[in-house]
């Protein structure tokens, strides 16, 4: 996914230009909502199958797997039939696309069918995750993404129409699906996909709890795709590309820190299960410190070096103005902090209320962003996004306070002060480096990020050193006993 975000935007911009790239982003965003057809079934079923497999209830494993696969295939078949009239629908006028009508409609059809095939693929290789072979499922996902990337780069170099790009993605998805099914039957014949059992009551027992997991898919659409569709309606394709590329740049910090934070989930779950509140609180303090110091250092560096980074990455074809850059940097910091708080709710199975609250906030973000975009363009959507994330952080802070039976390290007032300080610092910092040459700008950005990290290490790092020593000593002694 990271490679796609880094490599494809400059390729699209070079071959098609900024307005056509904006049209591609809008088509992709328009059909992304089809991911809701999974309605969380894959996540719930894989978890359920894992429990059945590890407790030796293999017959029930086959029944659940058969029902789930028939549900997915039925939904996929109905969705495919519903999409067949798409080439005759005026989607290009609905989405305000400035590309040929036939090209827009066929592209949307092929990409939609590719998403449907990927839902079936996810259900099929989910068996690997259930029986302790998660690496094989990951390999198939990586193979599919690598094949799509290679096919797109090859076709983009010839400047083919978008319909060919969509057809290539569909072809890769179908070939991967067939090959994965063959691999599952070859490597795990005892647990290969079956469709020989059906029970309506049992099917509903799978659908009902899965709908909650589907909120996660809905939130992804509301957070990442809906803002692009709104910007297209209000401001046009240039605003879409500017917002999307700035968002991609400042997602780098989150993509670097979030995997590190989420590696704590097993330990959080264990400490909560045994009721070790002291170590759980210490782990929470360390997680918040890493999120705040690491997030601040990374996003300050990205913001101050954004001009040189954009010039190298996109060859100067997209240049977000300094106000948007400052807002996106603050949002990058806030989203890292949100993830650090949410993982404690997730690891202790207290995340249901949080996901519902996130959905409400992201819907409100879309409404507010649509109103603000008419006056502030991309900055309006960024302001709405920032407000939504701050509300979510406030809610998570309260929930974690209840979970940990103590106030969190960073209160909402402290968080707001940090956000305001970061924005003001970037506002003046970007003005100061605006005329600097590329290498000088990068050196200044790297120095600022490193300086913040060092200050954080010698302040919060030293303050949290006793807690870290107790946690690490306990963890490693437990590993030696194991």
pLDDT at 290: 82
Q: Report the b/e string of 20-44 with b at 16+ CB within 10 A.
A: bbbbbbbbbbbbbbbbebbbbbbbb
Q: Please tell me which residue, 433 or 194, carries the higher pLDDT value.
A: 194
Instruction: Work out the burial of residue 216: count CB atoms within 10 Å of its CB; fewer than 13 is exposed, 13-18 middle, 19 or more buried.
Output: middle
Answer yes or no: is pLDDT of 362 > 90: yes
pLDDT at 482: 44
Q: State both tokens at 28.
A: 């992709």
* Maximum Cα–Cα distance across the chain: 69
Q: What is the CA radius of gyration of the chain?
A: 24
Q: Please tell me which residue, 298 or 270, carries the higher pLDDT value.
A: 298
* Residue whose pair of structure tokens reads 């700035």 in the numeric block: 246
Look at residues 165, 169, 162 and name the one whose alpha carbon lies nearest to residue 95: 162
Look at residues 358, 361, 363 and name the one whose alpha carbon lies nearest to residue 339: 358
pLDDT at 413: 57
* Residue whose pair of structure tokens reads 């249901």 in the numeric block: 352
Please, are residues 230 and 381 in contact by the beta-carbon 8 Å criterion?
A: yes
How do residues 137-186 score in pLDDT, each as one tens digit? 888 988 999 999 999 999 999 999 999 999 999 999 999 999 999 999 88
Q: Please tell me which residue, 451 or 379, carries the higher pLDDT value.
A: 379
Please, are residues 335 and 254 in contact by the beta-carbon 8 Å criterion?
A: yes
How do residues 306-359 score in pLDDT, each as one tens digit? 888 888 888 878 888 888 888 898 899 889 888 888 888 877 767 778 888 999
Answer yes or no: is pLDDT of 77 > 60: yes
How do residues 421-458 score in pLDDT, each as one tens digit? 666 667 666 666 665 556 777 777 788 788 877 877 77
Tell me the C-alpha distance between 352 and 360, whole Å.
13
Band of pLDDT at residue 475, cut at 50, 70 and 90: very low
pLDDT at 428: 65
Tell me the C-alpha distance between 444 and 301, whole Å.
8
Answer yes or no: is pLDDT of 78 > 90: yes
The percent of residues above 70 in pLDDT, for the chain, comes to 87
Q: Please tell me which residue, 348 or 377, carries the higher pLDDT value.
A: 377
Tell me the C-alpha distance between 177 and 110, whole Å.
16
Q: State both tokens at 91.
A: 């989607």
Band of pLDDT at residue 480, cut at 50, 70 and 90: very low
Q: Three-class SS of residue 482? A: coil
Question: Other CB atoms closer than 10 Å to residue 233's CB: what's the count?
Answer: 15
Answer yes or no: is pLDDT of 89 > 50: yes
Please, are residues 430 and 322 in contact by the beta-carbon 8 Å criterion?
A: yes
Tell me the C-alpha distance between 447 and 436, whole Å.
14
pLDDT at 3: 74
Q: Report the b/e string of 309-332 with b at 16+ CB within 10 A.
A: bbeebbeebbebebbbbbbbbbbb
Band of pLDDT at residue 481, cut at 50, 70 and 90: very low
pLDDT at 412: 57
How do residues 5-56 score in pLDDT, each as one tens digit? 888 899 999 999 998 999 999 999 988 888 888 777 887 888 788 878 878 8
Tell me the C-alpha distance between 352 and 300, whole Å.
33
> What's the chain's length in residues?
482
Band of pLDDT at residue 479, cut at 50, 70 and 90: very low
| Mean pLDDT for the stretch of residues 291-320 | 84
């Amino acid at each position: 996914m990271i490679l796609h975000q880094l490599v494809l935007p400059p390729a699209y911009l070079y071959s098609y230009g900024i307005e056509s790239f904006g049209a591609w982003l809008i088509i992709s965003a328009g059909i992304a909502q089809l991911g809701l057809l999974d309605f969380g079934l894959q996540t719930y079923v894989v978890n359920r199958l894992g429990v059945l497999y590890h407790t030796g209830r293999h017959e029930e494993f086959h029944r659940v797997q058969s029902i789930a696969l028939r549900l997915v295939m039925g939904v996929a078949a109905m969705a495919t039939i519903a999409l067949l009239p798409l080439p005759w629908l005026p989607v290009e006028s609905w989405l305000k696309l400035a590309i040929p009508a036939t090209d827009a409609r066929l592209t949307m059809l092929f990409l939609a069918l590719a998403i449907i095939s990927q839902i079936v693929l996810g259900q099929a290789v989910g068996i690997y995750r259930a029986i302790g072979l998660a690496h094989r499922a990951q390999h198939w996902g990586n193979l599919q993404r690598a094949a799509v990337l290679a096919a797109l780069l090859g076709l983009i170099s010839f400047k083919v129409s978008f319909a060919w790009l969509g057809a290539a993605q569909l072809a890769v998805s179908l070939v991967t699906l067939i090959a994965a099914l063959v691999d599952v039957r070859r490597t795990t014949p005892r647990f290969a996909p079956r469709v020989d059992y059906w029970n309506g009551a049992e099917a509903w027992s799978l659908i009902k709890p899965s709908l909650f997991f589907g909120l996660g898919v809905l939130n992804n659409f509301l957070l990442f795709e809906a803002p692009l569709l709104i910007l297209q309606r209000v401001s046009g394709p240039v605003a879409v590309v500017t917002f999307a590329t700035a968002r991609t740049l400042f997602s780098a910090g989150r993509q670097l820190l979030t995997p590190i934070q989420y590696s704590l989930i097993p330990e959080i779950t264990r400490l909560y299960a045994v009721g070790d509140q002291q170590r759980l609180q210490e782990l929470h303090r360390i997680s918040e410190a890493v999120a705040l110091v690491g997030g601040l250092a990374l996003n300050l560096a990205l913001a101050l070096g954004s001009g040189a980074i954009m010039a190298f990455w996109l060859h100067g074809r997209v240049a977000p103005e300094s106000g948007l850059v400052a807002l996106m940097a603050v949002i990058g910091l806030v989203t890292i902090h949100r993830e650090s708080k949410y993982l404690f709710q997730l690891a202790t199975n207290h995340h249901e209320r949080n996901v519902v609250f996130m959905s409400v906030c992201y819907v409100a973000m879309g409404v507010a962003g649509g109103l603000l975009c008419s006056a502030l363009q991309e900055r309006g959507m960024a302001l709405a996004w920032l407000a939504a994330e701050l509300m979510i952080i406030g809610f998570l802070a309260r929930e974690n306070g209840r979970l940990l039976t103590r106030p969190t390290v960073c209160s909402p007032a402290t968080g707001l002060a940090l956000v305001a300080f970061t924005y003001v610092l970037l506002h003046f910092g970007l003005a100061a480096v605006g005329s600097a040459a590329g290498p000088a700008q990068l050196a200044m950005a790297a120095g600022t990020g490193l300086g913040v990290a060092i200050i954080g290490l010698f302040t919060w790092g030293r303050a949290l050193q006793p807690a870290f020593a107790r946690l690490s000593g306990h963890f490693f002694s437990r590993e030696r006993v194991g």
